[in-house]
Amino acid sequence: MDTAADHTVLIAFLATGAAVLAAVIAAVSADTRQRRQLRHDRRLHDLTELRSVLDEATVALQAAIHELQWAWTGFGSQEMREKQPRRVRAKLEQLRDEDYRTELRKCSEARDRMIFAGQRIAIRLGHDAALNSTYGSAIDVVIKAIRKIAEAKRIEGAGTQASPEDFQDLQGELIRLRQLFVMQAVARVGSQLP
Over the stretch 32-82, which tens digit does the pLDDT of each residue have? 888 888 888 888 888 889 899 999 999 999 999 988 888 887 665 455 455
Q: What is the pLDDT of residues 97-138, one digit of tens each?
A: 777 888 889 999 999 999 999 999 999 888 778 888 999 999
- Enter the pTM of the model: 0.71
Cβ 167 vs Cβ 145: under 8 Å: yes
Per-residue pLDDT averaged across 143-159, rounded? 79
pLDDT at residue 190, as a whole number:
80
